């Protein structure tokens, strides 16, 4: 209710600023008895952490996670699991120049309007650094989902467009996403994006991106009509990620250009007593409830608002100023948003799995 929590039965509450002592989150509602693989959570954080290639911010953070509660002898106990990540590479002096200036495209002006004051160091709470907490919660959620649903459950994301240059879906290979610094599922796009991003960095500019996330092995029945629909909650989850300006499910905006007979995914018996869908324009969600097909979402990430190119703005005294952002930052925040998007999808799905189990029992669940 107060804004820093996500989820209902499975819920995490995050805290921390970019340049404060630490960030983290408290996760409530984890089912008990799940073996916790702490190393896997750290690996998820490592995928998101900065400084891993020349294409992301050069801030150096280990993002080493400490688990403070909720685990006993390697198993979740059902009580809150708190994650703590210390900040170690704050350089607050980088931000002194912009403490009294509102960086265009940033949250500086709106935080100041809302709260009457703000922590200017690295964007304070509005920094994407907060997303480390999401990744920790998401990695936990994914482990629980695999425990409950079996290894057929999987959430994975990819960058499908950067700076207006889209991948070729015919070349899609999920295996590629771990072999390049862009989470690109298309090996051939990598050199193009490298060149593009090197130019962007040289210009002191930035670019946007589009991310696609899919979840496999999601049982049918998740999602609460009519407001807490699975797609509505996914839209909220993904739109809450820093710099995201659009979300679509399945065919998304393209579905608005299809005829009804093209768009409606036909069904046929799967020969094993179940149903097979002939297409997935719905992105695995019908009437707000999962259908058993892969859940597919895409999100648009705007270009980083931190720029070396001067922009017109005003200061807190209302005077016109030019703003240049010299702090370390990502030329394309969309890249590191891929593991964040995966995390939010995992959290959403686990929350809805528990809600489904609560209201409806275990009807459709594998176990």
Task: Tell me if 129 contacts a copy of itself by CB under 8 A.
Answer: no
Task: Tell me if 320 contacts a copy of itself by CB under 8 A.
Answer: yes
Span from 48-56, 172-180, 181-189, 288-296 in contact with a copy of itself (CB under 8 A): 288-296
Task: Tell me if 97 contacts a copy of itself by CB under 8 A.
Answer: no
For residue 153, CA distances in Å to 65, 147, 285 come to: 25, 9, 16
Task: Tell me if 94 contacts a copy of itself by CB under 8 A.
Answer: no
> Residue 139 gets which letter from DSSP?
H
Q: Is 334 one of the annotated binding-site residues?
A: no
Q: How near is the Cβ of 53 to a copy of itself at its closest, in Å?
A: 19
Q: How near is the Cβ of 204 to a copy of itself at its closest, in Å?
A: 9
Task: Tell me if 267 contacts a copy of itself by CB under 8 A.
Answer: yes
> Residue 315 gets which letter from DSSP?
B
Query: Each residue of 93-104: b (16+ CB within 10 Å) or e?
Result: ebbeebeebbbe
Binders of a copy of itself among residues 335 to 364 (CB under 8 A) are 354-364
Q: How many residues bind a copy of itself (CB under 8 A)?
A: 161
Whole-angstrom distance, CA of residue 175 vs CA of residue 184: 9
Span from 36-44, 167-175, 185-193, 289-297 in contact with a copy of itself (CB under 8 A): 289-297
For residue 56, CA distances in Å to 127, 149, 204, 224 come to: 14, 35, 13, 38
Task: Tell me if 294 contacts a copy of itself by CB under 8 A.
Answer: no
Peptide bond connecting 246 to the previous residue in cis, omega within 30 degrees of 0:
no
* DSSP states of 70-137: SEETTEE-SS-EEEEEE-----GGGGGGGTTB--TTSSHHHHHHHHS----GGGGGGSGGGHHHHHHH
Span from 21-29, 38-46, 55-63, 187-195 in contact with a copy of itself (CB under 8 A): 21-29
Whole-angstrom distance, CA of residue 302 vs CA of residue 210: 9
Whole-angstrom distance, CA of residue 184 vs CA of residue 195: 14
Q: Is 8 helix (H, G, I), strand (E, B) or coil?
A: coil
- Which member of 192, 281, 324, 328 binds a copy of itself (CB under 8 A)? 281
Task: Tell me if 1 contacts a copy of itself by CB under 8 A.
Answer: yes
- Which member of 90, 143, 305, 346 binds a copy of itself (CB under 8 A)? 305
Binders of a copy of itself among residues 139 to 158 (CB under 8 A) are none
Binders of a copy of itself among residues 156 to 215 (CB under 8 A) are 161, 163-164, 200, 205-210
Q: Is 328 one of the annotated binding-site residues?
A: yes
Task: Tell me if 366 contacts a copy of itself by CB under 8 A.
Answer: no
Q: Which CB sits closer to a copy of itself, 180 or 206?
A: 206
- Which member of 158, 247, 295, 340 binds a copy of itself (CB under 8 A)? 247
Whole-angstrom distance, CA of residue 206 vs CA of residue 309: 10
Q: Take residue 37 and report the two structure tokens written for it.
A: 């693989």
- Which member of 48, 49, 59, 106 binds a copy of itself (CB under 8 A)? 106
- List residues bridging with 28 in a β-sheet: 11
Task: Tell me if 81 contacts a copy of itself by CB under 8 A.
Answer: yes
Q: Is 242 one of the annotated binding-site residues?
A: yes
For residue 260, CA distances in Å to 257, 282, 294 come to: 10, 12, 21
Whole-angstrom distance, CA of residue 350 vs CA of residue 367: 14
- Which member of 45, 55, 65, 119 binds a copy of itself (CB under 8 A)? 119
Q: Which CB sits closer to a copy of itself, 51 or 288?
A: 288
Q: Which CB sits closer to a copy of itself, 170 or 367?
A: 367
Comparing CA positions, the residue from 172, 190, 117 lying closest to residue 296 is 172
Binding annotation for NADP(+): 48, 54
Q: Which residues are annotated as a binding site for FMN?
A: 125-127, 242-243, 287, 302-306, 328
């Amino acid at each position: 209710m107060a804004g820093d929590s996500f989820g209902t039965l499975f819920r995490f509450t995050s805290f921390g600023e970019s340049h404060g002592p630490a960030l983290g989150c408290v996760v409530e509602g984890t089912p008990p008895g799940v073996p916790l693989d702490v190393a896997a959570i750290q690996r998820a954080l490592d995928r998101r952490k900065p400084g891993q290639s020349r294409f992301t911010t050069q801030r150096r953070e280990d993002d080493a996670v400490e688990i403070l509660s909720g685990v006993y002898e390697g198993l979740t106990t059902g009580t809150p699991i708190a994650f703590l990540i210390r900040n170690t590479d704050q350089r607050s002096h980088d931000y002194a120049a912009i403490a009294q200036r509102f960086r265009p495209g940033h949250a500086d002006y709106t935080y100041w309007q809302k709260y009457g004051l703000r922590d200017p160091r690295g964007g304070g709470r509005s920094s994407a650094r907060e997303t480390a907490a999401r990744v920790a919660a998401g990695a936990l959620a994914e482990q629980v989902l695999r425990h409950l649903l079996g290894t057929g459950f999987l959430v994975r994301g990819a960058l499908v467009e950067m700076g207006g240059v889209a991948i070729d879906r015919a070349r899609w290979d999920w295996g590629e996403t771990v072999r390049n610094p862009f989470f690109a599922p298309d090996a051939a796009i990598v050199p193009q994006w490298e060149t593009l991003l090197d130019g962007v960095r040289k210009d002191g500019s930035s670019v946007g991106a589009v991310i696609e996330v899919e979840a496999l092995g999601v049982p049918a029945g998740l999602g609460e009509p009519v407001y807490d629909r699975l797609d509505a909650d996914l839209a909220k989850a993904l739109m809450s990620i820093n710099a995201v300006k659009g979300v679509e499910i399945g065919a998304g905006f393209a579905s608005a250009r299809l005829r009804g007979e093209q768009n409606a995914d036909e069904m046929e018996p799967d020969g094993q007593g179940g149903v097979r869908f002939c297409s997935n324009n719905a992105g695995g969600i019908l009437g707000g409830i999962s259908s058993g097909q892969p859940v597919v979402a895409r999100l648009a990430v705007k270009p980083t608002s931190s720029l070396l190119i001067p922009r017109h703005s005003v200061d807190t005294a209302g005077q016109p100023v030019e703003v240049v952002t010299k702090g370390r930052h990502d030329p394309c925040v969309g890249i590191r948003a891929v593991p964040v998007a995966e995390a939010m999808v995992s959290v959403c799905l686990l929350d809805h799995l528990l809600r489904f189990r609560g209201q409806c029992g275990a009807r459709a669940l594998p176990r």
